[in-house]
Chain A
Amino acid sequence: MSRDQASLLQVEALEKRFVIRRGPWSRPLVIRAVDGVSFQVARGETFGLVGESGCGKSTLARCLLRLIEPTAGRVIFDGVDLGRLRPPEMRALRRRMQIVFQDPFASLDPRMSIAQIVEEPLFVHGIGSREERQAQVDATLELVGIEATYRDRRPHELSGGQRQRIAIARALVLRPELVVLDEPISALDVSIQAQVLNLLRDLQEQLGLTYVFIVHDLAIAEYFCDRLAVLYLGAVMELAGREELFRRPLHPYTNALLSGVPIPEPGRRRRQGRIILEGEVPVLTDHRGCRFRSRCPVGKDRERCAEVEPRLEERGPGHRVACHFPGELVTARP
Chain B
Amino acid sequence: MDEVLLSVRGLRTEFVTRDGVFAAVRDVSFELRRGEKLGIVGESGSGKSALALSIVGLIEPPGRVVAGEVELNGRRISGLPDRQLQLVRGKEVGLIFQDPMAALDPVKSIGDQIVEGIRRHRRHLGRREARRLAIELLREVQVPFAERRLADYPHQYSGGMRQRVMIAIALANEPDLIIADEPTTALDVTTQAQVLDLLDRLVSERRTAIILITHNLGIVAEFCDSVHVMYAGRFVERTTVEQLFRAQAHPYTEALLRSVPRPDRLQRGPLPSIPGFPPSLAHLPPGCSFAPRCPAAQEICRDRAPATVELVSESTPVLAECHFARERLRT
Chain A interface residues (CB < 8 Å from chain B)? 52-53, 159, 161-162, 189-195, 197-198, 201-202, 216, 218-220, 222-224, 242-243, 246, 256-271, 274, 276-277, 279-281, 295, 333-334
Contact = CB atoms under 8 A, between A and B. Distances in A.
Contacts of B268: 223
A266 B189 contact: no
Nearest to B261: A223
Given A53-B188, A191-B273, A274 B44 contact: no
Contacts of B188: 52-53, 216, 280-281
B271 A223 contact: yes
Contact of B221 (A162, A201, A242, A262): A262
B242 A267 contact: yes
Nearest to A198: B270
B261 A220 contact: yes
A197 B262 CA distance: 14
Interface string B189-233: 111111011001000000000000001111111110000000000
A283 B296 CA distance: 51
A277 B187 CA distance: 14
A263 B271 contact: no
Contacts of B313: none
B245 A266 contact: yes
Contact of A261 (B159, B245, B263): B263
B260 A264 contact: yes
Looking at A159, A194, A262, A274, the one whose CB has the most chain B CB atoms below 10 A away is: A262
A199 to B, nearest CB: 9
Q: How large is the interface on B (under 10, 10 to 19, 20 to 34, 35 or more residues)?
A: 35 or more
A266 B215 CA distance: 16
A260 B192 contact: yes
A265 B277 contact: no
A270 to B, nearest CB: 8
A267 B225 CA distance: 11
Contacts, number: 140
B161 interface: yes
Contacts of B278: 189, 191
Interface stretch (B57-65, B165-173, B251-259): B251-259
B274 A191 contact: yes
A263 B272 contact: no
Nearest to B224: A266
A190 B43 contact: yes
Nearest to B214: A262
A280 B263 contact: no
B156 interface: no
Contacts of A224: 261
Nearest to B142: A278
Contacts of A265: 221, 245, 262, 264
28 contacts: A189-B44, A190-B43, A190-B256, A191-B43, A194-B272, A195-B273, A197-B261, A198-B271, A219-B260, A219-B261, A219-B263, A223-B262, A260-B193, A262-B222, A263-B218, A263-B222, A263-B264, A264-B260, A264-B262, A266-B241, A266-B245, A271-B200, A276-B193, A280-B158, A280-B159, A280-B160, A280-B190, A334-B264
B266 interface: yes
Contact of A266 (B193, B242, B275): B242
A189 B220 contact: no
Given A52-B190, A216-B189, A262-B216, 9 more contacts: A190-B256, A191-B273, A191-B274, A194-B259, A194-B272, A223-B268, A266-B241, A274-B193, A276-B193
A193 B259 contact: yes
B221 A268 contact: yes
Given A219-B261, A257-B190, A276 B271 contact: no
Contacts of B275: 195
Nearest to B194: A276
Contacts of A159: 277
A268 B273 CA distance: 24
Residue from B159, B189, B192, B217 whose CB has the most chain A CB atoms within 10 Å: B189
A257 B192 CA distance: 11
Nearest to A189: B43
A189 B215 contact: yes
Contacts of B144: 279
Contacts of B191: 280
Contacts of A270: 222
Given A191-B256, A263-B218, A277 B263 contact: no
Contacts of A243: 266
Contacts of A194: 259-261, 271-274
B189 A190 contact: no
